[in-house]
Structure 1
Amino acid sequence: MATIDEHLRLVLARHRIDTSALSPVRGVQSVVEPTIRQWGGPYIVDIGPSGSFAKGTAVGGGTDIDIFVSLSSSVPDPLKTIYETLFTAFSNLGFQPRRQNVSIGLSVGGWKVDVTPGRRQDQYGNYHSLWRNKTGSWLQTNIKEHCRVVSGSGRLDEIRLIKIWRNRYGLSWPSFYLEMFVIDALRGARIGNLEANIITVLRATADTLATRRLIDPANTNNTLSETLDANDKFHVSQTARAGLNSPWNVVFQ
């Protein structure tokens, strides 16, 4: 019979996403890139993977790949216009895009894809401004800084397991908020101590999700813990509390 640690590692292996240079999902970029380049023209700075795929925290059942479109700071259009015209460009070519908070959702060859356009805040830096549909306002972000903080945290296995748990129970918990919560909850905990660390995270989720304040490391004006409302936080917390009292092979599959 497998130990709890062995079971968790089997679950991680079962939900692993290939993010290597030869990963089939990387081919999605070659499908959507011509549309993006035709739309953005000379203002395109870079197009590449971002989000969970780039950070090493992707799991089956979520978005298969996130693609970030970096635009020059010289783009004259307002952020909302940037978002809407890219949405229209995808729509005109039959991609059937979906409006999301800062990204545009697509289905490409069976893959779930999120494309996010952002305008650089200056000519050479990594800080970008995004249009945020939920609030009808702009948001500052730094994708490279997000990737550095998460991928270098030493908590990728714990983050991936909590995402697997979130997806299994259909919980609403934005990925970057979840990632930063796990990192914060495990501050000072031994790296690699998977069973104990997951218990720590579930306890923190049950007891402190409603009150723990987390700030975007790339934007002190963006409070990550405000991206989930009180009702959703309560539901996530209650599910974590139930998980602490349930068999591991039921909670993590």
Structure 2
Amino acid sequence: MTQDDYVINIAKKYHIKSDIDIHTQNTIINPLKSLILQWAGVCLNDIQLSGSRAKGTAISLSSDLDLFVSLKSTTKNSLSEIYNSLYYHMNQAGYKVRKQNVSIGIKIVDKQVDLVPAKKRTGNTNYHSLYLNKQKTWTQTNIAEHINIVRNSNRITQILLLKIWSKLHRLNFPSIYLELIVIEALKGRNTNNHAENFLLILNYIIDKFTDKKIIDPSNTNNIISNDLNKAEKEIIKNQAISSRLQSSWEKIIW
């Protein structure tokens, strides 16, 4: 087995297809949509599958589903009120919920679902404003653009590998940040050298990651790299150093 064969098999081992099966649709997504509609009422614009499932980068080691909850631009509530009221609504419905940064995590049946509430910007646009719970502020972004950038990057396998590596080593590495790092690290590189490219990504994390400013491609004022502090970035860098020192692939990613 070649190095490429090994890492491709690892990616296939954990990769989850984007399609939602009927059982998940009926037992998880539809009940959640009903609760969200009950909460949002006439303010609801749309509920969309987002995150890794929509991008084609879902793995079995991390959150199973992401639902993007778009409210109309005419919604009067502040972003913090929207975020917190959805949290309490789901809590009162009997679910085990937790506040994350832009999302609300819910354990339902055997799945982990992240709800991302947002308010649509005025006009014919996919831009939305989101509440940042950790920073107690807000940001503007375009989830649809993020999905298109990742899906069209030709780096899906490498993104899967870094996500798997990150989860296996229990690292805190936000998805969009991780995805943009892979795309940045592999600019101009062959898309088919999966093992070599993965090592190049680790080298990039070692040499440039902690100081590299990563900007949201849909909002130059949104610095994605600020999602992690210096100490959190150092933990990821140190794991990359440790992985590069390993003598076999089985000790890097498995």
Is this a same-fold pair by TM over 0.5?
A: yes
Counterpart for residue 12 of structure 1: 11
SS of the residue corresponding to residue 117 of structure 1 reads strand
**CA deviation map 1:61-95 (0-9, x unaligned):** 11101000111000011111111111111111101
Pair 23,232 (structure 1): closer, same or farther in 2 beyond 3 Å: farther
Secondary structure of the corresponding residue to residue 199 of structure 2: helix
Partner SS, residue 181 of structure 1: helix
Q: Among the aligned pairs, what percent are the same residue?
A: 35
The answer (yes or no) to whether the contact 2:17–2:56 under 8 Å persists in 1 is no
Secondary structure of the 1:210 match is helix
Between the aligned partners of 1:24 and 1:153, the Cα distance in structure 2 is 31
Equivalent residue number for residue 82 of structure 1? 82
User: What residue in structure 1 maps to residue 250 of structure 2?
Assistant: 249
Partner of 2:46: 46
Structure-2 residue corresponding to 1:171: 171
Alignment of 1:84-99 (within 5 A): 84-99=84-99
Give the AA of the match of 2:252: V
The aligned residue for residue 60 of structure 1 is 60
Does the 8 Å contact 1:25/1:65 carry over to 2?
no
How far has the Cα of 1:242 moved from its partner? 1.4
> Counterparts of 2:88 and 2:235 in 1: how far apart (Å)?
36
- Is 1:159 the counterpart of 2:159 in the alignment? yes
Q: What is the aligned partner in structure 2 of residue 186 from structure 1?
A: 186
CA contact (8 A) 2:15 2:57 kept: no
Structure 1 residue 123 displacement after superposition:
3.8
Question: What does 1:78-157 correspond to in 2, within 5 Å?
Answer: 78-157=78-157
Q: 26-35 vs 141-150, which deviates more?
A: 26-35
Unaligned runs of 5+ in 1: none
Count of aligned residue pairs for this structure pair: 252
Query: Is the Cα–Cα contact under 8 Å of residues 25 and 64 in structure 1 kept in the other structure?
Result: no
Gaps of 5+ in 2: none
What whole-Å deviation, never above 9, does each CA across 1:97-148 have from its counterpart, x for those lacking one? 1111111100111101100110011143110011111111111111100001
Quote the Cα distance in structure 2 between the aligned partners of 1:164 and 1:95: 28
CA distance 1:139–1:239, change in 2 (3 Å): same
So what's the TM-score if we normalise by structure 1? 0.96
Contact kept in structure 1, 2:118 and 2:128, CA below 8 Å: yes
Q: Distance in 2 between matches of 1:23 and 1:162?
A: 30
